[in-house]
Structure 1
């Protein structure tokens, strides 16, 4: 049985959260271009209300993804902090 270090798990999770933040930020910075490209690739019968809904949905999904990444990053930071505290305690006991 291979048990990974809590530090490795925390850092890996933190990196995933950072990647998710970068992706959400990119989507937030240009939500209209995504909706425009989707509109141009479909038929011309898409009206303005559908365009606004698609843009708002993209923005809303990206903001939710950004908040999830923030919470995920904070949780992994706590894992790293706990592992650090545990290691410090073990070192203090052994010395």
Structure 2
């Protein structure tokens, strides 16, 4: 096993996990904003003087995005562990342990 390939794989995995965390965070923010807007629209429609502009739409669930966010976090942790292991192996090979 080449040390460089272990570092490369760990870094690529960490970058993918970081991108996934960013994407899911944006999705959660977007869904939360949409939910708030739907709640405001529904509260306006409940007023007797208001005319309904759209049918009541149930709020979107952010549960899936939260689960995917947790998966990305675990993936990032696993890749950090692989980087740490590759670093320790390199230190052992050249006998320079810190």
TM-score (norm 2): 0.68
Could you tell me which residue of structure 2 aligns to residue 82 of structure 1?
Answer: 85
Post-superposition CA distance 1:33-77 (Å, at most 9, x none): 39x7xxxxxxx6x644xx22xx11xx1111011000000000000
> In 1, distance between residues paired with 2:15 and 2:34?
27
Could you tell me which residue of structure 2 aligns to residue 14 of structure 1?
Answer: 14
- Structure having the higher helix fraction is 1
Q: Which of 62, 68, 76 lines up with 1:65 in the alignment? A: 68
> In 2, distance between residues paired with 1:4 and 1:77?
15
The offset of 1:4, in angstroms, is 6.2
> In 1, distance between residues paired with 2:25 and 2:56?
27
> In 2, distance between residues paired with 1:82 and 1:76?
10
User: What are structure 2's unaligned runs of at least 5 residues?
Assistant: 39-53
Query: Which structure 1 residue ranges, 4+ long, deviate > 4 Å from structure 2?
Result: none
Between structure 1 and structure 2, the one with the greater Rg is 2
